[in-house]
Homo-oligomer: A and B are copies of this chain.
């Protein structure tokens, strides 16, 4: 007899499936708080043994890549959603930024840059994500709702700045990030203001930080 309920919620398989999630969440939380954290800290936070980790990820580096890759997938999904959004260009753009800040996809980027060797796959995903970001940005710029002189690469830098906001309480941290995001959005929306000083970061300047030494 077959049921539509996915799994009896007990049984070894279900437990393992749940651990899949728990471990990834724990890993994210731990590495965002401390990029150099030992793998044992992840296991502890997840409430599992170390071997439960190694069963899933053959090495720390592979786990790190997985986390980054997941972050990119979220970023991609949000960017695609923004491109499908029919509301007025500024609202779409601002909401995109708000959702990225909510998803906190840049905390790992910021902390882990240079600590592990990017994958071939990771590289491809990253390129694709960037190409979507370009389209989201250009749509706003072409609609004339952005301050002159801005570039897509400014977005990366802004996301990273916001990811640097850190209080001990996680919920308050998110609140604070939104506080400063609104401040920045107001600055970005000043369509008749002077361009910002200094040439914007080049894609190369942004990418070079990922090279492992």
- Residues of A at under 8 Å CB distance from B? 36, 110, 154, 157-158, 160-169, 172, 175-176, 178-180, 182-184, 186-188, 190, 193, 196-201, 205-206, 208-209
Name the B residues within 8 Å of A199 (CB-CB): 175
Contact B183 A187 (CB under 8 A): yes
Interface pairs A-B: 3 shortest CB-CB? A164-B164, A183-B187, A175-B198
Contact B182 A184 (CB under 8 A): no
Give min CB distance, A24 to chain B, whole Å: 25
Contact A205 B167 (CB under 8 A): yes
Name the B residues within 8 Å of A198 (CB-CB): 175-176, 178-179
Contact A182 B209 (CB under 8 A): no
Name the B residues within 8 Å of A206 (CB-CB): 167
Contact A180 B209 (CB under 8 A): no
Contact B167 A201 (CB under 8 A): yes
Give min CB distance, A27 to chain B, whole Å: 20
Contact A197 B184 (CB under 8 A): no
Q: CA separation between A168 and B163, bound complex, in Å?
A: 19
Q: Say which residue of B36, B186, B201 sits within 8 Å of A190 (CB atoms).
A: B186
Q: CA separation between A39 and B85, bound complex, in Å?
A: 52
